[in-house]
């Protein structure tokens, strides 16, 4: 529901599911992260990204990268970008298409902006 545009309802349902399973994977927090990031609440987005706890998940590394980059935390953003590119070496070439499958165009552009701030120069 959140990714279809009803962020409030989707967030409530995701949180409820996480409460029902105390051992849920960390990436279940992605809904809350996307919501905070799209609202440009970068401190909250970073707090949530740090809890995702899936270092081999490219989406988690992307979330860390842009959460660090948007407020200007460049050293950490560069480190997360390096980790992201280690997982997906051609990420610059596939990022827009990959995220456009699931996210609203404005949110995709917002993420591309954050990736560029982190140092990803040829994202398209």
Residue 46 confidence (pLDDT)? 96
Closest CA to 55 of 65, 45, 41: 65
Residue 16's pLDDT band, with cuts at 50, 70 and 90, is confident
pLDDT tens for residues 99-118?
888 888 999 999 999 999 99
Euclidean distance between CA atoms 98 and 79, whole angstroms? 22
**DSSP secondary structure letter of residue 26:** G
Sequence-distant (≥ 6) Cβ neighbours of residue 105 within 8 angstroms? none
Burial class (CB in 10 A: 0-12, 13-18, 19+), 60: buried
Residue 3 confidence (pLDDT)? 63
What are the residue boundaries of the structural domains of the chain, listed by start?
A: 2-118
Euclidean distance between CA atoms 16 and 12, whole angstroms? 6
What's the fold here for domain 2-118?
A: 1.25.40
| Its pTM surpasses 0.85 | no
pLDDT tens for residues 44-73?
999 999 988 888 999 999 999 999 999 998
């Amino acid at each position: 529901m959140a990714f279809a545009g009803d962020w409030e309802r989707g967030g409530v349902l995701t949180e409820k599911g996480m409460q029902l399973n105390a051992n849920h994977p960390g990436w279940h927090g992605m809904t809350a992260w996307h919501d905070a990031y799209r609202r440009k609440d970068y401190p909250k987005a970073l707090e949530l990204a740090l809890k995702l706890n899936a270092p081999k998940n490219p989406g988690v590394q992307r979330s860390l990268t842009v959460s660090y980059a948007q407020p200007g935390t460049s050293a950490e953003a560069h480190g997360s970008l390096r980790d992201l590119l280690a997982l997906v070496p051609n990420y610059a070439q596939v990022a827009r298409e990959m995220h456009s499958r699931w996210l609203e165009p404005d949110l995709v552009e917002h993420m591309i902006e954050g990736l560029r701030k982190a140092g990803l120069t040829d994202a398209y």
